């Protein structure tokens, strides 16, 4: 089970990747980065002031109207009463009455003026959002914008002072086996630090069209959502978002949105509160191995256009069902998410070149993308 902490869960299939390596020389191995005798204390001391606790209150509702078990939506304090009622069958005061749904997560400050990054699913449907800083002060937060497709949200608070911040590092530089630490507020325990390694990169957990997760064995639990994943230099390399768990607790398989993607999403949200993505207007499916052999393509290259949306950029460019897309905007297309991501990362209204195969012939087509945000609206 892949669970988006703290309150939502869904079952997704997990993909695996096997890579072969070849020893080319007997050059000395690089020294491993390991914490000193003080562990991570110095690093944590420097970055922890920028990590925050996020509490949200949603629409007042009854348990029946919520459509889900309350203990999966409520704060730790309220969980106790729900668990008491479940075990002993007693009606607690206020049970069944109209009451607000509550949730909690984590975040981190990226500007002295109070810009804070968290997860979309932490603040989704919130009527009010309150941020607690490391000094204990509480501040009402405004949701500047949120992107459900990457599960990133941007908040703004007015603290009346310059705030400590953390910086984004490059997730593209991460190596499997590199040490990382996660910070946040699991189960409402703010300031919690866990450590581990990068277990995998570019992980697809079928959570959405832009899956490119960092997998880590650093413990991530409910309430860690939106918190930062740091590298050994104290740079944010990911935003903790989901866990694989049969029971809702950490089993050492957590996932973080890579910082290279988060940085772009945050910049776009900061600009106007919404994400402007390219839109092509096609339905696509994988290219079968047999079809790839007939076309002379290597296995795992190219996707097939299944249908073309009427009055879309794809129709205007002359794309047809059955066309095989092998590259878009200079990026090779090997699987469905490659094309989805390539289209989304190109700016709307800009002309982009794509390479396709049609009836065995290679064609280069120019397409002017639309704006996905307009379609969603």
**b/e map 175-185, b = 16+ CB within 10 Å:** eeebbbbbbbb
The residue whose two tokens read 């500047």 is 144
**CA–CA gap between residue 23 and residue 339 (Å, rounded):** 33
- Beta-strand pair 282-286/126-132: unpaired
The answer to whether the CB of 171 falls within 8 A of the CB of 214 is yes
Q: 10 Å Cβ neighbour count for 12?
A: 16
The answer to whether the CB of 305 falls within 8 A of the CB of 319 is yes
CA 288 to each of CA 138, 205, 297, 302, 349: distance values in angstroms, whole numbers, following the listed order: 55, 21, 11, 9, 32
The answer to whether the CB of 312 falls within 8 A of the CB of 321 is no
Q: How many residues does the chain have?
A: 377
Q: What residues are annotated to the active site?
A: 121, 151, 225
């Amino acid at each position: 089970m892949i669970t988006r902490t703290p309150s939502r869960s869904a079952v997704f299939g997990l993909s695996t990747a096997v890579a072969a390596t070849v020893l080319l020389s007997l050059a000395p191995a690089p020294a491993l980065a390991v914490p000193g005798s003080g562990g991570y204390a110095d690093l944590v001391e420097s970055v922890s002031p920028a990590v925050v606790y996020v509490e949200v209150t949603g629409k007042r509702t009854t348990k029946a109207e919520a459509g889900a078990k309350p203990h999966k939506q409520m704060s730790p304090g309220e969980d106790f009463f729900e668990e008491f009622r479940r075990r002993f069958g007693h009606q607690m005061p206020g049970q069944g009455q109209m009451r607000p749904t509550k949730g909690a997560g984590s975040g981190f400050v990226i500007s002295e003026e109070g810009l804070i990054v968290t997860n979309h699913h932490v603040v989704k449907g919130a009527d009010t959002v309150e941020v607690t800083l490391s000094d204990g002060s509480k501040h009402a937060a405004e949701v500047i914008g949120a992107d459900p497709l990457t599960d990133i949200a941007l908040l703004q608070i007015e603290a009346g002072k310059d705030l400590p911040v953390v910086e984004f590092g490059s997730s593209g530089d991460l190596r499997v086996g590199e040490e990382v630490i996660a910070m946040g507020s699991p189960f409402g325990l703010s300031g919690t630090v866990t450590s581990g390694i990068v277990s995998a990169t570019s992980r697809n957990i079928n959570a959405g069209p832009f899956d490119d997760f960092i997998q880590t064995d650093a413990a991530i639990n409910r309430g860690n959502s939106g918190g930062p994943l740091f590298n050994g230099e104290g740079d944010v390399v990911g935003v903790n978002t989901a866990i694989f768990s049969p029971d809702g607790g950490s089993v050492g398989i957590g996932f973080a949105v890579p910082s290279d993607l988060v940085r772009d999403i945050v910049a776009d949200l900061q600009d106007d509160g919404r994400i402007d993505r390219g839109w092509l207007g096609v339905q696509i499916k994988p290219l079968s191995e047999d079809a790839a052999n007939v076309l002379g393509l290597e296995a795992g290259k190219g996707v097939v256009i299944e249908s073309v949306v009427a009055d879309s950029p794809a129709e205007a460019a002359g794309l047809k069902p059955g066309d095989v897309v092998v590259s878009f905007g200079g990026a090779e297309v090997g699987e469905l998410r490659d094309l989805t991501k390539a289209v989304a990362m190109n700016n709307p209204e800009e002309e982009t070149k794509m390479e396709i195969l049609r009836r065995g012939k290679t064609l280069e087509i120019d397409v002017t993308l639309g704006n996905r945000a307009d379609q969603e609206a």
